[in-house]
Structure 1
């Protein structure tokens, strides 16, 4: 994969999340995905990952704004902000950084960091 391919893959992730396009979202991740997110136990495997997005995630809707995407080998680091609405009706805004590890065209690891409210 080229640097551009890596960028497009993670951009597709954020677009599919913001559009609530779960079939596309899930297609981007390896069956053995490891996902670390503050406030949640480590999600291991696509089943746990899918359950998080189908029900556990406290965000109802929102939009990501990406400010930086850095590619180094099979790692992609993203910095940006998120504005949205939680399932309890609260409107939130937070900054974030994500680190993705990609193998054979699929995301195999993701680690999210928040600067502000953790969602």
Structure 2
């Protein structure tokens, strides 16, 4: 399996982990220095990010619908939708940075 294939696999596992509340798996995908940047906040460090996803996000019973995935060097971009009970909450583009197989950063854009 190529590096980009492993990164795509890790990206799909990221969304599955969040949708299934599997925070052990989510933690295993991220480097300790993982940083998530989005328009309203920055979460610096794997532990802060996982804690937010587990305990602080406003809506937890959601599903990430991945529509397309693009790779370039050590980045993976995902275009998708976040839905709850079949209703669209918002569309997103996530750009993941990788350190080999582990995610080191994420920039999220929403619409």
TM-score (norm 2): 0.90
Measured against aligned partners, the alpha-carbon deviations of 1:71-109 in whole angstroms (never above 9, x if no partner) come to: 000000000111027xxxxx6521000000000311000
Partner of 1:72: 72
Aligned ranges for residues 1-119 of structure 1 at < 5 Å? Answer: 1-40=2-41, 42-84=42-84, 93-115=89-111
Task: Give ranges in structure 1 of 5+ residues lacking alignment.
Answer: 86-90
SS in 1 for 2:50: helix
After the TM superposition, list the runs of 4 or more consecutive aligned residues in structure 1 that deviate by more than 2 angstroms: none
Task: Give ranges in structure 2 of 5+ residues lacking alignment.
Answer: none
1:2 and 1:92 map into 2 onto residues whose CA distance is: 32
SS in 2 for 1:20: coil
2:103 and 2:10 map into 1 onto residues whose CA distance is: 9
